[in-house]
Amino acid sequence: MTAAKCCSVEDSIILGINFSHKPKSKAHHNGSESSSRPIGPMPSFRRLQVAYSGSLSTCSSQRINEDLAQTFGSDLFDFQLVELKGITQNFSRSYLLGEGGFGKVHKAYVDEGFRPGLKPQAVAVKHLDIEGLQGHREWLAEVIFLGQLRHPHLVKLIGYCCEEDERLLVYEFMPRGSLENHLFKRLSISLPWGTRLKIAIGAAKGLAFLHGAETPVIYRDFKTSNILLDSDFTAKLSDFGLAKMGPEGSNTHVTTRVMGTYGYAAPEYVSTGHLTTKSDVYSFGVVLLELLTGRRSMEKSRPKGEQHLVDWVRPYASSSRRLRYIIDPRLGGQYSVKGAKEMAQLAIQCVSLNPKDRPKMPMVVEKLEGLQNYKDMAITCGLWPPPTTKSSRVNGVSTKGGYCKPSPVAPIRKS
C-alpha cells in the first residue's frame, strides 16, 4: 500500500480510532488476560461501522500503526514483518495450520526474548492474502474489536503487523482447531455428547457477551469453522472481520450489505440486509443442529429434501421418538435423550422464521447449562436403516455391523 498522504484526524473515522483514549505505555503487556472485560459505549466501534466509504490507500502504514498504538498501547503488540517471518521460517509450509478467506495461518512460538512482557507460548499467525476474499477492512475490524474485547470465550488477539501491503494478525494458539474439523472430518474422533454440550455452552456465552454491550456487537459470521477449541475443548469465537455494531437508540436494526456464510445466515437478513442480534441467534441455532446431527448446514450432494439442514430437521425435532432418526450416528447412542430433545427444541426456536420468536442469548446459555444435569443415556445403538436413506451410511458414517435394529418408527410424512 503506497502512501499518498498521511491520515488526518478526520480520516480516523475510517480507522475507527477513538482519539479520546489516552496513550498507553508499551513498557509491559499482560499476557494472562482471562477474565471478561465489560463492553461500554466505545466510539471506535461505531466509527468503524460508518467507515470505509473509500479506500485506505491514502493512509500510510506508519500512521496506521501510530494510531493503533495510541489506542491499544500495551494491550496489543505491534509486530514487525521480519519478526513474524523469523518465527514461521518465512511462512514455511511445515508451519502451516490451514488456509481460509483471509489467507494462510501458520503456527509459531514466542517468548520474552522475542518481546519483553510476552509470555512463552504457541501462537497462530494469520497472513492476509491481498488477492483473497477479505482485505484491509476485515483486518482492521479484527484489530479494533478483539483489541478492545476480552472474554474467556473469545479468542485472544496478541498483536498485529501492518507494513506496506502486508497485513498480519497474531493470536493465541488453539490446539484443538475448529469445531468444523471435529464434526465433519472423517478421520477425526467423534466428539462425545458431554463435549458437544460444553462447546455449545461456551460459544453461547461468547455471543451473550457480545450482545450484552450497551451497544451490542453483532458477530455476523457465527459458524463451526469460526469456533476454535483449546486443549480442554473450551470454545472461543474467532474471526471478527465481519462484526458490526448493533442498532442504537430507537433503531431496530442495522442495514448493511449481506455478508457471511450461506446456510447460517438468517433469512430476513439475506432478504433485506437488516441485521440484529437475532441474526446471530439464528446462526447459533444452525450450529446446534450441526452438533446434534453431524450434518453440515448445507449439503448439495444430498437428496433435495435433505440439503438444507434446518428444513430437514424441523419435522423430527418435536419428539424423542422421531429425533432418534437424525441424531449423529457417530455418537453411537451415547447421549442424553432428554437433553437431545431439549437441545433440538431450543435450536428450532433459535431458527424461527420470526426473529421476535428467537430467544436472547442469556436465555440460551441458561437452557443449555440446564442440560448438563441430565444423566439419562440413549439405550439404542443407532437406527438401521434411517427412514431417509437406503444406503449403509448414515450422515456419511458407515453403519454396518455397529448399529442395533430397534422396532421401526414411522418416518415423517409431509402433508
Angle at Cα 356 formed by Cα 353 and Cα 360, nearest 5°? 110
pTM greater than 0.85 (yes/no): no
Q: Residue 281: what pLDDT?
A: 98
Q: Is 66 exposed, middle or buried (0-12, 13-18, 19+ CB in 10 A)?
A: middle
* 252 and 347 part of one domain: yes
pLDDT of the residue at 2: 36
Residue 85, domain extent = 12-172
408 located within any domain: no
- The verdict on residue 410 lying in a domain is no
Does one domain contain both 70 and 109?
Answer: yes
| Residue 284 sits in the same domain as residue 372 | yes
- Higher local confidence (pLDDT), 178 or 392: 178
Of 113-127, 189-203, 253-267, minimum mean pLDDT range: 253-267
Same domain, 373 and 387: yes
CATH number at residue 239: 1.10.510.10
Number of other CB atoms surrounding residue 39 within 10 Å: 20
Residue 408 DSSP symbol = P
Say if residue 201 is in the same domain as residue 140. Answer: no
The tens digit of pLDDT for each residue in 163-209 reads: 888 899 999 999 999 999 999 987 678 899 999 999 999 999 999 99
Q: What angle do CA 336, 341, 345 make, to 5 degrees?
A: 145
Q: Is residue 389 part of a domain?
A: yes
Q: In angstroms, rounded to a whole number, what is the distance separating the alpha carbons of residues 312 and 308? A: 6
CATH number of the CATH domain containing 17: 3.30.200.20
List, for residues 134-145, the tens digit of each pLDDT value. Answer: 577 788 888 888
> In the 8-state DSSP scheme, what is residue 191?
P
Looking at the 3D structure of the chain, how many domains does it have? 2
35 pLDDT more than 50: yes
Same domain (yes/no): 353, 227: yes
Domain boundary among 172, 205, 229: 172
Whether residue 238 sits in one domain with residue 109: no
**In a domain? residue 278:** yes
Q: Which residues pair with 124 in a beta bridge?
A: 107, 171
**Residue for grid cell 478421520:** 187
Do 281 and 391 fall within a single domain? Answer: yes
81: in domain? yes
The per-residue pLDDT for 257 is 64
**235 and 320 co-located in one domain:** yes
127 — alpha (psi -120 to 50), left (phi > 0) or beta?
beta
- Facing residues of 254 across strands? 275
244 annotated to bind ligand: no
Q: Last residue of a domain, which of 172, 205, 221?
A: 172
Query: Which residues carry out catalysis?
Result: 221
* Interval 148-168 mean pLDDT: 91
Higher pLDDT, 390 or 261: 261
**What's the pLDDT at 25?**
39
If asked whether residues 145 and 288 sit together in one domain, one would say no
For 235-248, the pLDDT digits (tens) are: 999 988 888 876 65
Same domain, 135 and 232: no
Q: How far apart are CA 106 and CA 88, in angstroms?
A: 7
Say if 119 falls within a structural domain: yes
Q: Look at the alpha carbons of 260, 261, 262, 267 in this order and tell me if their dihedral is positive or negative.
A: negative
User: Average model confidence (pLDDT) for the chain?
Assistant: 78
160-185 core/surface letters (b: 16 or more CB in 10 A; e: else): bbbbeeebbbbbbbbebebbbbbbbe
